Amino acid sequence: MLQSILSFDNRLVEKLPQDPDTERSVRQVSAAWSAVAPEPVSAPELIATSPDMMRVLGIPPEVATRPEFADVFSGNTVLPGMQPHATNYGGHQFGHWAGQLGDGRAITLAEVIASSGQHWELQLKGAGRTPYSRHADGRAVLRSSAREFLCSEAMHFLGVPTTRALSLIATGDAVVRDMFYDGHPKAEPGAIVCRASPSFIRFGHFQLPNARGDTALLHEWVTFCIARDFPHISSSGEAAYAQWFEEICVRTARMVAEWMRVGFVHGVMNTDNMSVLGLTIDYGPYGFVDAFDPDFTPNTTDAQGRRYRFGWQPRIAYWNLQQLALALSPLFKDASPLQAGLEAYALTYGQLDRQNAARKLGLSNCTDEDMQLLRDLQAWMHAGEVDMTLCFNALNVETIEDLRAESFDDACYDSEKQSAQAETLTQWLDRYKARARADVWSWSERMQTMRLANPAFILRNWIVQRAIEQAETGDYQGIHDLLDVLQRPYDTHLGYTGRAGRRPDWARNAPGCSMLSCSS
């Protein structure tokens, strides 16, 4: 059945050099990719599909209920025309060059052509060992797979550029993980996400050949990526490379500006986790900020240096782009086009940051004074331990008279800090009201803009954690409920919004809620 629905066009494996070795054994690979089939699992059981991705790929919903669907998207059945493979990349992890990394537990099944004509790479995460698995098992646990599945879709509906997810399948096999890295490994249920993206090419795909001095392969990757993923670039040679790099920079700026708008913290912005299409990729120990805090990082592995803290994401993205620029430098006579790309990042990010400030505050434009107004609100949120999402929801009221300090009560996590900051809020509200009155926009224009800039529903860690704990008992209702809500994040009258979405006290320091390890 799936065979007759999906049509394949495996361009990456056709165009880029293949590793001649077809064993699964761990090794250094000098080619672009290795042929490797998924390792079978015991008892694949479909947990959920994304209705939207099913529609995009033209798969009727009833097809998912057939055993064939779980067989194919767990990797147990490889359809004729699929060419399962793992790609080879390197990367900087936490600022240090890590050498070859590669798809250690991700196996791309095929590139499919959707009815719209758009191509999607379908990739299984947790499908077993590949030549890039190093000492690990190639598997993924249910908790991390559910987190990736749900957040990919949540981010899409929030309007944030992201890779997508088609399905979440329990494997029936146990996976052993030492969640806290404290010498207490535990068997957990395993699962596989089928993720989908027009391209899974990462900065690290270019960094590795450059680090090895393999300019020929670097060249092949660049030429391929431009032809497949940036087909509108019609120039050639250095002009094409320059335009391409600048587009990567601009797309990355857009992605990060959107992260900052909704309060998303990626948690592991290593260069191997950066997509050339500027899509959020590799959902691991991510988190949405509850109480506004630029220093917040959800990743316990990053707790020391906090390299990937919320407020540093724009500069880390820039650092990552610099690494990509260095990797591409052999293709350029001099560095000026690369410098221009990096400048485009800074310029685009600055513009979007300003636009988002205006949208979040419901202002028709954004002056330097307005930027300061936003900074002062953020400073109040930080000092008063105030929930970022609920704060902006509280700011969007029916009439200017409704704008009162009490409206923010539900957004405050600590009553003492709230009292200590009460005067600051009152003064800020007076400034804000004066500014809103002076604006050319009507109150209803303002409300409409704010509603679309400030989500009512974000996929908070504690909310996902509850659904995961339920799923670990074999009950997937919580996952289905979230899948439903996350498709309408700007609707204010749904479950888990408003006060119902606020992080409860038990979740403040609970594992999986406020902090996550990389163990997945």
The residues that touch ligand AMP, with contacts defined as CB under 6 A, are: 101-105, 132-133, 136-139, 268, 272-273, 282, 284, 518
Q: Which does 32 bind (CB under 5 to 8 A by kind): Mg ion, ligand AMP, none?
A: none
Binding-site partner at residue 514 among Mg ion, ligand AMP, none, CB < 5 to 8 Å by type: none
Nearest approach, Cβ of residue 162 and ligand AMP (Å): 15
Q: Which does 198 bind (CB under 5 to 8 A by kind): Mg ion, ligand AMP, none?
A: none
Which parts of 85-218 are beta strand (E)? 85-87, 90-93, 96-100, 106-113, 119-125, 164-177, 186-197
Q: Which is nearer to ligand AMP, 421 or 517 (CB)?
A: 517
The residue among 356 and 520 lying less far from Mg ion, judged by its C-beta, is: 520
Polymer length of the chain = 520
Give 89 or 288: the residue with its C-beta nearer to Mg ion: 89
Q: How far is the CB of 258 from ligand AMP (least distance, A)?
A: 21
> Of all residues in this chain, which one has the CB nearest to Mg ion in the complex?
282
Burial of 89 (C-beta count, 10 Å sphere; 0-12/13-18/19+)? buried
**Measured between alpha carbons, how far is 160 from 486 in angstroms, rounded to an integer?**
13
Decide: 465 and 512 in contact? Cβ < 8 Å: yes
Per CB under 5 A, does 273 bind Mg ion? yes
**Active site residue ranges:** 272
Give the count of alpha carbons within 13 A of 426, CB side only.
Answer: 6
| Least gap, CB of 272 to ligand AMP (angstroms) | 6
Partner that binds at residue 132, options ligand AMP, Mg ion, none, CB closer than 5 to 8 Å by kind: ligand AMP
Using the minimum distance from each CB to ligand AMP, give the nearer residue, 103 or 121.
103
Bridge partners (DSSP) listed for residue 511: 515
The single residue among 103, 246, 282, 439 that binds Mg ion, judged by CB under 5 A, is: 282
Measured from the CB of residue 94, what is the shortest distance to Mg ion in angstroms?
13
Residue 389 binds Mg ion, judged by CB under 5 A? no
User: Is the distance from CB of 209 to CB of 33 less than 8 angstroms?
Assistant: no
104 touches, from ligand AMP, Mg ion, none (C-beta below 5 to 8 Å by class) = ligand AMP
| H helical segments located in 213-295 | 215-229, 237-262
Q: Which stretch binds Mg ion (CB under 5 A): 72-80, 282-290, 414-422, 505-513?
A: 282-290
Q: How many CB atoms lie within 10 A of CB 117?
A: 6
Give the C-alpha separation, 208 to 102, whole Å: 10
Residue 106 CB contacts under 8 Å (≥ 6 apart), including other chains: 86, 123, 124, 125, 127, 130, 200
Contact positions vs Mg ion (CB under 5 A):
273, 282
